[in-house]
Structure 1
Amino acid sequence: MDFMTPEGGAGLGVLYLLRAMGMTVLAGLFLCAFLDARMDGRRARLIMGAGIGAVILANIPLAFLLGSEAYMRLTPVLLNLPVFVLFGWVSRYRDGRLLFTLTTLMAETGLVTLAGMLCALPFGGRLGIDLLGRCAAALLLLWLNWRLRPLYLEMQGMLRRGWLLFSLIPLAYYVSLYVYIMLVDPGERAENLTAILVTSGMAAAAYTVIFFFFQTIRRQEQTERERQLLSTQVSALRRQQEMMARSEEKLRVHRHDMRFVLHTLTAMLERGDTAGALEYLGQSDKKLNDTVMAHYCESPVLDALLAYYAEQARSREIQVRIEIKLSRKLPADEDELCAVLANALENAIHACEALPAGTPRRIEVAAASKPHFCVEIANTCDGKAEFDRNGFPISREPGHGVGTRSIAAFFDKYQAVYSYSVGKDGMFRLRFLIARPDAGTR
């Protein structure tokens, strides 16, 4: 039997080929929903689309050359394997996370096949009903995948272990479907219906457990971030209190010495030593300036946080310049804003520390409240930053990127206008603006 002279029904070989090609396109859509690329997202999708198209075009003449029976046996190698290899090349991860994604894809395509079979079963296996069932299941799974995509990508960044164990679930389910459906004559598949439904229910329950496990991990990570932020805020406030105590001690000593300073100045002026008096007065003024604490905004928590990170940066020989004009009333929750600034400043310090020795290291922070709330945080960098399709920087280091996701959630919640960029001056910049409803038109 070949594709030009099909047996067992007109066009059976061609229909199988078309169905296989359609399932390959569907597999590509499933993979794109789960794809966390090691390159720009748009470029990755173009590569996936072009690659899948090339694989399909190459398989058409192969199918007619080999004939339907041989091609059906070789479909996993000729059609599916190249798509899997392409996805592995584009994907950021090459470990158990990749295996879990691919086995999940296999389970979903098997589920689409199962849906078509179940829909067509009462109608004698009619191909039209089978196709409608597959399309409905495919659309439902695509919608579900895109809904779960943010959580799945977040878990890929958080979890580095356990994926091989997770992969056993979709792999076992796919194998069971293959045994119950693919290795059985179409007329005998109904006898395995109970086993198929039980197996599908068990797989769905297992994925539900995995979903709740991911949710638990996310909540734990969020709790840990909040704990770390609270710890940072407490450290910042404690540090500011220590600085205030030192400033008050210096001021107390200066007040104690003020009488001697005035007597000395009076004596110098009586002798006509104006130049000496002015020099002595300047030295006294410098001592007085040493008692002044730097304040950046009216919010005590934000003020302490900025002072804390400024000190952390300077202790690492990073130049810091902070120009902030913020009112006490903020357009966002103070703790959430602290989390954004803390994450951004930690990233800036980390980027500066990663620069080669002798390279200028600098962090600049600017913010204003009027007419709208806007912030800019800039730091020197190596100029090799990459950005995803939403404009957020991509981190290639394990364990990093959580702070960026936290910032993204903040921007989404407050509908902030934001931009990440690398300027010609070698500065990496984060800018964001939150519109004030009462700002009016200016």
Structure 2
Amino acid sequence: MSSDDVEQTLTDDFIPLLLLTMLGTLIYFAIFLSLKNSLREAALQEENLKIQSDQELTRQRLSLMDETVRQMSIAQHDRRHFNNTLLSMLGQGETDRAADLIRRQSEALPQKPQSYCQNVPVNAAVSYHAELARQRGIRCDLRLDIPEHLPIDELSLAMAVSNLMENAISAVSSLPDPRRALRFTAVNVGQLILEMSNPYDGEISLDTNGLPTTREEGHGKGTQSVARFVKECGGELVYDVSGGLFKVRLMV
């Protein structure tokens, strides 16, 4: 083939080659836009999940405060009713009945709540779940050195503790009596180190991030909440499922 023939061939094929090149460029550009949109959608989904979780956490906090206010209102109403009844008895000279009323009222007062640590929000969370465990016949070994004031968000820590205890209680509730127990410890050594451990049945696997996996719908949200809390604190979260014990350690 002469040079003239080559030149003629290139001239004849120029437009098809140009169109093919443009088509290839458009395809690559479309793929790039598709990947960019997919990444944007994934980021938006992750942000939406975080917002939903934050909203749920806020809802739980508001619910807790609302219940506290409600209980205080009931207590104040009962106290006013008791005082009015007592004053009426004393005004009528019924001192014996008044004394008996005071005695029965004192006997009906709840015992002083157990103090597990100095931190008020965490102690409230632990007290609630410890009572729940007691009602289910679950033994709790609780040794918590958590100071009154912390450099991290104390309500968020209390929610994380609630999730840990709730998961442990759920895991051991169906076990036979000798194994129906959990252990929760916390030490403060400049950094707060918490560890929850409990026996379990079945198999538990960890994902690539070291978090327990679950196939049950609705489960695992507590684990994700704890992981997010630790990440926000710049801490460390470690799970260990060896030796028939489920252990989770938080360093925050």
TM-score range, shorter-chain basis?
Answer: 0.5 to 0.7
Question: Structure 1 vs Structure 2: percent identity of aligned residues?
Answer: 29
1-side partners of 2:189 and 2:137: how far apart? 33
Aligned-residue offset at 1:428: 0.8
Q: Indicate the structure with greater strand content.
A: 2
1:427 to 236, 245, 248: 245
Quick check: 1:127 aligned with 2:20?
yes
CA RMSD between the two structures: 3.3
Q: Judge conservation of contact 1:236–1:308 (CA < 8 Å) in 2.
A: no
Of the three residues 138, 159, 170, the one matched with 1:350 is 170
TM-score of the superposed pair, with normalisation by structure 2: 0.66
Candidates 400, 411, 427, aligned match of 2:230: 411
Deviation at 1:292, TM superposition (A): 6.7
Indicate the residue corresponding to 1:303 in structure 2: 123
Stretches of structure 2 lacking an aligned partner (at least 5 in a row)? 1-14, 76-110
Structure 2 CA distance, aligned partners of 1:143 and 1:128? 22
SS at match of 1:127: helix
Q: Alignment length, in residue pairs?
A: 200
* Counterpart contact for 1:236–1:305, Cα < 8 Å: no
Per the alignment, residue 320 of structure 1 pairs with: 140
Q: Does 1:335 align with 2:167?
A: no
Any idea what SS the aligned residue of 1:338 has?
helix
SS of 2:197's equivalent? strand
Identify if the C-alpha distance between structure 1 residues 381 and 233 changes in structure 2 by more than 3 Å, giving closer, same or farther. Answer: farther
Does residue 400 in structure 1 map to residue 219 in structure 2? yes
Query: 1:371 pairs with 178, 190, 193, which one?
Result: 190
> By how many angstroms is 1:136 displaced?
3.8
Counterpart in the other structure of 1:266? none
Q: How far did residue 148 of structure 1 move?
A: 4.0
Unaligned runs of 5+ in 1: 1-121, 155-213, 243-290, 435-442
Aligned-partner Cα distance in 2 for 1:143–1:407: 31
Q: 1:396 and 1:295, CA in 2 relative to 1: closer, same or farther beyond 3 A?
A: same
The answer (yes or no) to whether the contact 2:53–2:225 under 8 Å persists in 1 is: no
Larger RCO (alpha carbons 8 Å, 6+ apart): 2
Quick one: which amino acid aligns to residue 338 of structure 1? Answer: A
- Residue 293 of structure 1, CA deviation: 4.9
Instruction: Report if aligned partners of 2:139, 2:181 keep a CA contact under 8 Å in 1.
Output: yes
Post-superposition shift, 1:376?
0.8
Q: TM-score normalized by structure 1?
A: 0.40
The whole-number CA distance in structure 2 between the counterparts of 1:380 and 1:147 is 42
State the Cα deviation string for residues 293-318 of structure 1 (Å, max 9, x = none): 53222221211111111111111111
**1:135/1:305 CA distance change after superposition, 3 Å:** same
Q: Structure 1 residues 304 and 356, CA, compared in 2 at 3 Å: closer, same or farther?
A: closer
| Residue number in structure 2 paired with 1:223 | 55
Give SS of 2:152's match. coil
Give the CA deviation at 1:366: 0.9
d(CA) in 1 for partners of 2:197 and 2:64?
A: 21
Q: What pairs with 1:253-292 in structure 2 (closer than 5 Å)? A: none
User: What amino acid sits opposite 1:366 in the alignment?
Assistant: T
